[in-house]
Structure 1
Amino acid sequence: MADDMLRFWQTTPLSEMSKEQWESLCDGCGKCCLHKLRDDETDEIYFTNVACRLLDLHSCHCSSYETRFRKVPDCVSLTPDILTTIDWLPPSCAYILIRDGQDLPDWHPLRSGSAESVHEAGISARDKIISERKAGLLEDHMVEWPADIPPGVARNRRKRNTHKPSK
């Protein structure tokens, strides 16, 4: 995309975006579809490398996007309103970046013009995840990389967790 072209994510509030604009903000990293654990005592979030059974492990896209709520009833639909209450999206998530007044990084497909740029930059979950069907206990699959702050993202995001969640 040419630098002089108007970028909708810089001029349109999340709450006023069309469905197409909203959907295009997703960079296809797959990190939001990873199972997370929450510590009952501290409320901290812990990421795992275990993906929802509907996530295609290579493309990092939902294999049943249009019917996902029927197949996975606890799947969360991201909306501008819900962005004010959830705390488990990765720091590279475009919805969080835009909500917090940041721009999209160069590797985001809207900036690069390529859906593969998120994978090429190593931002996505590709080659780092397993399906929930093969995982076993989530506690055995806790990882930190989904919470890492990648290049091109402001450094004032999420702090690292330093202890294990209670069981």
Structure 2
Amino acid sequence: MEDWESICNRCGQCCFEKWVDGDGTILHTVIPCRFLDIVTRECKVYDKRLEVDEGCIKLTPEIVKSVRWMPEDCAYTKFVGDKRAAEGRRKKSKEKR
């Protein structure tokens, strides 16, 4: 999907460290990735981020759907959620026919 990356609103929330505590709760920290410009919220090595930082994950719709650590107000999360809701509405509409 070519337009996928244009959905990002550059909040940078996915570029901050996260910890999982003993009961599985995901805790977001105030520690940014060393490559995140905290003023612009842009990655300083974006084009080669996957080679430079082994912890960086290329976000795709499938990954956003499957991970629990993406913030609810993330543009990707909202987009995937909206698509999921629309698919559910279409299924219900078909079932009523």
Using the size of structure 1 for normalisation, the TM-score is 0.47
Q: Which runs of 5+ in 2 are unaligned?
A: 84-97
Q: Which has the higher contact order (CA 8 A, sep 6+)?
A: 1
- Equivalent position of 2:60 in the other structure: 79
Work out the CA distance in 2 between the residues paired with 1:34 and 1:58.
Answer: 14
Aligned-partner residue type, residue 47 of structure 2: E
Partner of 1:91: 72
Give yes or no for the alignment of 1:28 onto 2:5: no
* Structure holding more strand per residue: 2
Find the counterpart in structure 2 of residue 52 from structure 1.
33
What is the CA RMSD across the aligned residues, in angstroms? Answer: 1.3
Q: How many residues align?
A: 83
- What is the aligned partner in structure 2 of residue 37 from structure 1? 19
Match of 2:42 among 61, 83, 101: 61
Counting aligned pairs with the same residue, the percent is 35
Counterparts of 1:58 and 1:22 in 2: how far apart (Å)? 23
Q: Which amino acid aligns with 2:11?
A: C
Per-residue CA deviations over 1:59-94 (Å, capped at 9, x if unaligned) read 000000011111101201111111222011111111
Whole-Å Cα distance in 2 between the matches of residues 62 and 95 of structure 1? 17
1:106-117 aligned at under 5 Å gives the runs none
Where 1:50 maps in the other structure, the secondary structure is: strand
In 2: Cα distance, 1:101 partner to 1:70 partner: 31
SS across alignment from 1:32: helix
